[in-house]
Amino acid sequence: MPATAPYAAALLRITMGALFLAHSLWWKAWTFGMAGVQGWFVSQGYPAWFAWAVTALEAAGGLALILGWQTRWVALVLAALMAGITWQQFPNGWIYSSRNGGWEYPAFWTVALLVQAGLGAGAFTARRKSS
């Protein structure tokens, strides 16, 4: 494996973590407000509380990825979430910019998270290394 692989894994991990935080906190909670997010979830056939659960999972997962805490497990949990979103968006067609969104964007996230799970945390993590 190249000497740069730990840094590439860290770049992927930190970037995905920052984007999960931005998506959950800035876009969902602050831009639309949780009442708006709950309304969308209900319109899709989910209970209102599910909006809170997904938003919290995305925020906590994003922070964990940034810190490099339990990266493989966090990436797998988030991959399962994104696979579910892919399934939800599948009837809307391929392109995510379609009305109601498509499935290509969450499918890419699913694969990227699986890659992160395979790579591990890489460099710059909050975990202590054993001697």
Q: What digits encode the pLDDT tens for the residues 42-59?
A: 999 999 999 999 999 999
- Tell whether 96 is covered by a domain: yes
- Tell whether 43 is covered by a domain: yes
Q: Global pTM?
A: 0.93
- Tell whether 100 is covered by a domain: yes
15-24 b/e (C-beta count within 10 Å ≥ 16 → b): ebbeebbebb
Distance set, CA 80 to CA 3, 40, 104, 114, 127 (Å): 30, 20, 15, 9, 24
- Tell whether 126 is covered by a domain: no
- Tell whether 127 is covered by a domain: no
Range of the domain at 21: 5-119
- Tell whether 131 is covered by a domain: no
Number of domains the chain is built from? 1
What percentage of the chain exceeds 90 in pLDDT?
86
